Structure 1
């Protein structure tokens, strides 16, 4: 289990991690009314870089807009965000790969169930880049808990309170002896994992649920789709049935905290020949390089 590095950005300055707290009567605590993003910072040849930092800031903006947290756009722009990330990394000086979690918390005290015009606090902290799923092959279980639909709590907004849905589903999978879950929607179609997007390969074609399938429009998902297109791999974004995972040649998942990790079993069915497949291995290698050294796409922001 990872712990925050010593210095945390909270409000408008760096503070010790133990001092970065929100009130028990705030909307962030009472209703889970915070939104967040997580991005990796890597160290290569003495240089620290953040991956797709502008896209992560845009995700915070979009999550706030969807939920109605209007103060963030009034108080923050990308320049301030990037400068704060630089300050945070400089204060902690991580020597290995880390994740940074940036959140917008609604801290108004006892406001009732409303959001517009309420006070916010932004936090950012650094923690060790510990993957949330096995990197050498995982076992998945279709969850009895259904994915929250877009017309309830939109999955494209990373809302803290919505992750109760993910906790229920992943804990069921762990209790059943699996590594993670496969979320299905109300019609039984595949959505994603508890905190990662999912891909399958059939007949050389890369397939993934489209963005109307109650999924997070993941930044790493978009990265893999770009890399696959560059490699000439046919791509389909569409509705996916659970049984397609059973007969897929390959299955893998993506996410900041998941990486690009292979799936070897779904609901007791072995995927392919039980080993990571060639397409998932090739895209995993490309993804690994893109995160760290390959800046042909302008995805890396130097922080020092």
Structure 2
């Protein structure tokens, strides 16, 4: 059997989950989305994700036709409809059906979609051995354009960088901002460790403020690890003691080589292992229960 998909007020079979070719999400990438995880019958950091979804919508001047409480219930019910206690959930809100012009005022009601399924970004062996990644020529969007803090449907910047990673035969790419500072990866935030200090790019450098990123920062500070949200370059990654990525789908995953430079001894480091262990304990804690 296929999935049950939430589409504008009702659950339909995935074969019937269709939107108009005049929807501005399809025509122009005009919309916002969230990727969310459910673990052990509980949706992880549901409020944080819903808040970020509504912030993104507000930033593009789009009013979501359901309130936050209703959206939270849609997400939970999507898991129930598909009998999922562990899931990857994608919420999409597009500008809605309009005409072939750009004017968003022609779109009367946003389209709301919620999909609860499963996803596997990286093979399990990569969590043990680590990733090889590269920096790519494609630069991260600047905040003066499509601000990366908006999790929009317009992901072409990320996709171009992903294509460059594919062409290089590596699973992920690091994007630099226009000034040459490390910003983030195509689908993940990035951390490095040097002399016991955990560093991650500051939000203003041009990156999405990841929910998992913020969780890892909180865990690290609770563990007494010095955390800095700062600026750094490729050089700092090359000489780091540890590098790892974070994301909703990926969780925490180590990096052992950047631009063909081996990171430290080429193995995932102790701070990564500590943070991953703590993160996997936290996701077991009951939060927004799917089935009660």
Normalised by the size of structure 2, how large is the TM-score? 0.94
Q: Alpha-carbon deviations, 1:175-196, whole Å to 9, x = none?
A: 1121210100111110000010
In the other structure, the counterpart of 1:142 is: 135
Supply the distance in 2 between the matched residues of 1:252 and 1:202 (Cα, whole angstroms): 12
Contact 1:148 1:185 in 2 (8 A): yes
Does the alignment pair 1:65 with 2:62?
A: no
Q: In the alignment, which of 237, 247, 252 is matched to residue 245 of structure 1?
A: 237
Q: Residue 36 of structure 1 corresponds to which residue in structure 2?
A: 33
Secondary structure of the structure 2 residue equivalent to 1:99? strand
Q: 1:56 aligns with which of 49, 52, 56?
A: 49
Question: For residues 240-280 of structure 1, what are the alpha-carbon distances to aligned partners after superposition, in whole Å with 9 as ceiling and x for unaligned?
Answer: 11110000000000001111000000000001110000001
1:186-265 to 2 correspondence within 5 Å?
186-265=178-257
Aligned partners of 2:243 and 2:255 also within 8 Å: yes
Q: Secondary structure at the match of 1:285?
A: helix
Give the CA deviation at 1:119: 1.7
Q: Which runs of 5+ in 2 are unaligned?
A: none
- 1:78-127, Cα deviation, whole Å (9 max, x unpaired): 221122123211111026x3100011011122163233574201110112
2:70 counterpart SS class: helix
The unaligned stretches of length 5 or more in structure 1 are: none
- Among candidates 52, 58, 67, match of residue 77 of structure 1: 67
Bigger shift: residues 4-13 or 144-153: 4-13
RMSD: 1.6
- How far apart in 1 are the matches of 2:25 and 2:177? 27
CA deviation profile, 1:8-41 (whole Å, cap 9, x unmatched): 0000010011211211122111101121001111
**In the alignment, is the contact (CA less than 8 A) between 1:5 and 1:126 conserved in 2?**
no
Map of 2:285 onto structure 1: 294
Q: Is the 8 A contact 2:79 2:87 kept in 1?
A: no
Q: Give the drift of 1:6.
A: 1.2
- The residue aligned with 1:112 is 101
Q: Distance in 2 between matches of 1:203 and 1:37?
A: 35
